[in-house]
Amino acid sequence: MMVKYEVKMTSIGKDATAYLSSNSSFILINEKIRPALADMVVEHTVGELAADIVAGDKLKVGKSEFDVVKVGDAVNKNLREEGHCTIVVNGEAMMPGQIAVQGVRPPRLRFGNEIKFYTEE
């Protein structure tokens, strides 16, 4: 297994869980980088993107695991610069900053949960 990106949730915005329930997606961003967005995002520790995330990779959020099925054109650049992307769970990613993943059910957003993108190859 090769870990491409690994961070921990440090803050869950008051609207982030509702957004996950209503839109099947959640927004990631480095902690304290954009305070104006804090209510709607999941902030996380700063991580280093070791290799580009591509379709076929895996995502683990807490205890939930997902298959990465589509990666928008801006995702890897945004992760490198601000730890920013939108994860779309069991839906279609249509925007350049979105990653579409498939799994049994949406993850639980909890303080301290690990977020890890990796490849099994």
> At 108, which amino acid appears?
R
Q: Does domain 2-119 have CATH number 2.40.33.40?
A: yes
- Segments in 16-83 forming alpha helices (H): 16-23, 75-82
Structure tokens at 74: 């801006």
Contact of 70 with 100, CB cutoff 8 Å: yes
Q: Report pLDDT digits (tens) over 80-112.
A: 999 999 999 998 878 999 999 999 888 999 999
Nearest to 63 by CA among 115, 1, 121: 115
CA 43 to centroid of chain Cα atoms: 10
Domain boundaries, the chain: 2-119
Q: Report pLDDT digits (tens) over 24-56.
A: 999 999 998 988 889 999 999 999 999 999 999
Burial class of residue 104 in the structure, from the number of CB atoms within 10 Å of its CB (0-12 exposed, 13-18 middle, 19+ buried)? exposed
CA-CA distance, 46 to 73, in Å (whole number)?
A: 21
